[in-house]
Amino acid sequence: MSDHPSSLIAFQRRFPDDAACARYLAELRWPEGFVCPACAQRSAWQLRTKPWTYECRGCRRQTSLKAGSVMHGSKLSLSLWFWAAYLMATHSNGISALQLQRQLGLGSYKTAWLLCAKLRAAMVDPKRNPLTGLVEVDETTIHYRHRQAAAAGGFGRSPKGKLLIAGACEIKGEGPGRLRLAHVADASAASLQGFIVAALAPDSTAMTDGWQGYASLPNIIAHRPEVVGTRKAHEVLPWIHRVFSNFKTWALGVYHGLRDKHLQAYLDEFVFRFNRRRSRPAAFRSLLLFATRRHPITYNMLIQPEPRG
Ligand SMILES: [Zn+2]
């Protein structure tokens, strides 16, 4: 059967119970068979007394399938985790915590929010490669949601009352390739160049609108300032502008606006989905794979759920 179920029915048949989920997760985590995290021995018993737990034949250490992953310590069943990962990864617009709570019949909003937040934290590929070739680079601002917010001020490049987002989008032939988005403190040369150096590979070419913050990029990255002049910025850098516009629509539509504290996590979610727009069923497998490699996250690390929007 396909390991990339492409419909809810196919998903349900592939993962009818926790045992099916556990087998899939074990295969993702240890593709060549179990490896003890303490002594690297490859031989273990599966315990009958504790679900999905292995005991190393060498050092006797017990390792649960969820240990060391974002699922660590979670009381939710593997089936629930799998459903949540499937809905978040394959839904073309993603799914909010409130929608997930209803869809999965979760007892509380807090549980649903935490489940979403933990999966969202696993949406960055720890082994991803920087962008290559010709890359559009620009920045934009987004209003953040604050219940007592005064009218947000600030114009142009000033981030006052707004959050500043830097973006980079590869150009591959006629269309966009991969994307990176980051919450940056300001539009200074230090902030923007820090973003570019992290996002772009050496020997790539950054296309910008010629803003002075981009003027002195390190020599390893070529710079192609496109002077805007009488042309509109979205004509000069069409793809990154389309991405910014889609991100803002999505943030408003699914989340009713974003808050400062969680902005990077939502940018990561948007980028995850954008970069897998042509392979949504495979995105589910990627998300679970990254989840097994992401260190555990607790509620206190995330502090508090966003109010329902
Ligand atoms: Zn061991």
Q: How far is the CA of 43 from the centre of ligand 1 (A)?
A: 8
Q: How far is the CA of 35 from the centre of ligand 1 (A)?
A: 8
Q: List the structure tokens of 98.
A: 């409130």
CATH for 231:
3.30.420.10
Domain count, the chain: 1
Is residue 254 a part of any domain in this protein?
yes
Is residue 40 a part of any domain in this protein?
no
Is residue 216 a part of any domain in this protein?
yes
Is residue 122 a part of any domain in this protein?
no
DSSP 92-110: TT---HHHHHHHHT-S-HH
- Domain limits for position 188: 134-278
**What pLDDT digit, counting tens, does each position of 177-217 carry?**
999 999 999 989 899 999 999 999 999 999 998 888 888 78
Q: How far is the CA of 80 from the centre of ligand 1 (A)?
A: 30
Is residue 286 a part of any domain in this protein?
no
Is residue 193 a part of any domain in this protein?
yes
Q: How far is the CA of 292 from the centre of ligand 1 (A)?
A: 19
Q: What is the pTM of this model?
A: 0.86
Q: How far is the CA of 126 from the centre of ligand 1 (A)?
A: 25
Is residue 239 a part of any domain in this protein?
yes
Strands (DSSP E) found in the chain: 44-46, 53-56, 62-64, 134-143, 162-172, 175-184, 205-208, 222-225
Q: How far is the CA of 55 from the centre of ligand 1 (A)?
A: 8
Is residue 283 a part of any domain in this protein?
no
Interacting residues of 186 by C-beta distance below 8 A, sequence separation 6+: 159, 164
Q: How far is the CA of 42 from the centre of ligand 1 (A)?
A: 8
Please list the rounded mean pLDDT of every run of 10 residues in the chain (309 residues).
76 94 92 92 90 93 89 90 94 88 94 92 90 95 66 46 92 94 92 93 90 79 75 82 94 77 90 91 91 76 61
The pLDDT assigned to 305 comes to 60
Phi first, then psi, for residue 103 (nearest 5°) are -65, -40
